[in-house]
Structure 1
């Protein structure tokens, strides 16, 4: 479905987005935020769910595409739909559950009922309508839907490029990310959702920012054993950040953990030895034990998919703009669907250690994002966000795109280049 023609951009994009910096007012301009919602979130592929969240016919998830509440649902034939969560009669939402399973969607205001495919099935007291009232004219409004590697995306646009073309070189990294199932399907097994008082682009930058890690996450590093701390001390080492096109980027922090099917003969890390012993005692052979243990820690990279989802080591991180100065973050832990309980427990403990509400990572990140939003209030019109780290020092990747060291701001420049293209379109 198409939305209304977008409003004009209220700023000079060439002045606000430069090759080495962006203007800080981009975090606080309300008129600009409203245009972003139209020209970006209503005009591209937006991630809405992983297939494991809607496993059966009738399974649904409530989420948003930009500011629009939507329902992601699997119909009786197994097809996935993304419907606007709005009754066609008087605009009430037709579903308020966060996730669940249902046979239909019924408006609580006047009782209009819709099938899982969005078709209007029933209207109470139909005798009150004229004979030419046609239910087929009033289905739930639906977005275009496509999937890749179990990731479900939706868009308002019918004339948009195919999802696989939009993802481009990022598909290779999505395939690598899904290997952490260790031969089992991956499954979203829990989530931690919170809001912070800051603009959505602050968080968009963070997942491709290794430069902050030894500063912001010092307490996390100190909580690790010696060998694990050394593994996560990746700034200044041989990692990289690559521009993947269309605003996507990948930050490789631990190169030896990029492909989880490789290096299976390496020694099992001390922190995972107890898990390996438990898996062996359950009857898994040595090859299985090594593959599962290696997958538990997740791959050694963060993949940013513009504009709203990151595949970050062992979890998904979704951002949702609420207002120009408020953003919701949803961290979703990934487990092995049908895999060993011991391995999945280990995944949950690792997730809690860093991403959980009492963990060593998320609270510190959120504090940093909030401070950025406060800081851009200082200085009036003379506030610039520098994105110049490694600029002029980059090489070219095999795909012919900019490639910086692991602490480079290459990924942020890629995101803002796409932001500028879409805002100018």
Structure 2
């Protein structure tokens, strides 16, 4: 049996070039992650477009804990623990909708959109022992940036903007794919894989696997798209460590800022029918802006610990156990007038082609994630290597550790944040 070179303390499980294999498999470590990471940092819970009107809600999770995100009548957003204060029953079982409030089905305690306890049936037995003001649904601190909604159990945590730090620049760039309009959620699907959440976290910042795992996808697309994604030997394709566990992988650097367009890049011929339709309403500049953004921003932005703003879609992870993770893929597009719906239909087809359950991309990824988890059971003392590009990593002018897009800079960034948070008692 391979000797375990790592000590038992979580802080010792991560080194500069490797991590202990049991970070994927140890149930005790997983429980500690839920307490010290997912319940102590900012976790993405929604996009504002999912809650367009007062009364709208979305059911989701922060770590393993069920929550409901709501918009109240004043337009304020709240994240509420989905647990009645009486006997603990969930107060909402629908994934999304629009309501005036929530009523527990067990004893009909009712709550407002802000979580306040509004009514208790047959109150005669509660004289002197129930103060409604003290029995609201537990409320998580909730803040937004760029339309993205985050929540945390830690009321004393730094502001969301500070936690995002330099990642804010890349969020600002990501939303430009609305082509001058805000972005909105077009649809989503979810699935689970039999593996640890960090395996998926690594994948979104792993350019090294792309031409290997996604050969079938590369063979299924037109030559222009395949050429766009042939970044393995492109020195301009790089990954940055943005701090706080966040990283950005620039696969198509010329699309990193969609406003930076000199007009020389031809629009892909496959979108000629979209150009023709849009040209009936929009001028040439706006048509170009919408169509050029069809494939997204050309980068994957990982926001620790649970979301990737991945080129043209969102990938959200939800840890269930040490060896089970739910993934939600969220398609996005411009939130504009009816005339831009042809863009959104085309974006959905592109999304389905790669990310969909019968697509050419994600099923191959998921097979890889499953196999990593199975393989990690062997020689549990053997480390997982994250040293690719360590010798050529440099700090750029912005102060970001930077290396090639195929290097493991983003993984090292995430694991250093993991190490820091897991070291806190």
TM-score by length of 1: 0.96
| C-alpha contact 2:54 2:75 (8 A) present in aligned 1 | yes
Q: Deviations over 1:77-133 (max 9, x none)?
A: 100000000000000000000011110100000000000011100001011222452
Residue in structure 1 matched with residue 79 of structure 2 by the alignment: 82
Matches within 5 A, 1:111-130: 111-130=108-127
Q: Deviations over 1:46-73 (max 9, x none)?
A: 1100000111101000000011100000
Residue in structure 2 matched with residue 135 of structure 1 by the alignment: 132
In 2, Cα distance between equivalents of 1:384 and 1:341: 48
Residue in structure 2 matched with residue 6 of structure 1 by the alignment: none
In 2, Cα distance between equivalents of 1:158 and 1:63: 20
Unaligned 5+ residue runs, structure 1?
1-9
Residue in structure 2 matched with residue 331 of structure 1 by the alignment: 329
2:34 counterpart of 1:37:
yes
Q: 2:139 aligns to what SS in structure 1?
A: coil
Unaligned 5+ residue runs, structure 2?
1-6
| C-alpha contact 2:11 2:422 (8 A) present in aligned 1 | no
Residue in structure 2 matched with residue 61 of structure 1 by the alignment: 58
Q: 1:82 aligns to what SS in structure 2?
A: strand
| C-alpha contact 1:236 1:406 (8 A) present in aligned 2 | no
2:150 counterpart of 1:153:
yes
Residue in structure 2 matched with residue 412 of structure 1 by the alignment: 411
In 2, Cα distance between equivalents of 1:285 and 1:354: 31
In 1, Cα distance between equivalents of 2:133 and 2:10: 44
In 1, Cα distance between equivalents of 2:119 and 2:262: 57
**Residue in structure 2 matching 1:254, options 224, 245, 252:** 252
| C-alpha contact 1:264 1:290 (8 A) present in aligned 2 | no
Give the paired residue count. Answer: 414
2:128 counterpart of 1:92:
no
| C-alpha contact 1:217 1:364 (8 A) present in aligned 2 | yes
How big is the shift at 1:11?
A: 2.7
In 2, Cα distance between equivalents of 1:108 and 1:262: 54
2:35 counterpart of 1:46:
no
Residue in structure 1 matched with residue 3 of structure 2 by the alignment: none
Residue in structure 2 matched with residue 19 of structure 1 by the alignment: 16
How big is the shift at 1:375?
A: 0.4
Residue in structure 2 matched with residue 304 of structure 1 by the alignment: 302
In 2, Cα distance between equivalents of 1:86 and 1:152: 21
Q: Does 388-397 or 28-37 show the bigger shift?
A: 388-397
Q: Deviations over 1:334-389 (max 9, x none)?
A: 011124111111110110010000101110000000000000011132x2111000
Q: 2:344 aligns to what SS in structure 1?
A: helix
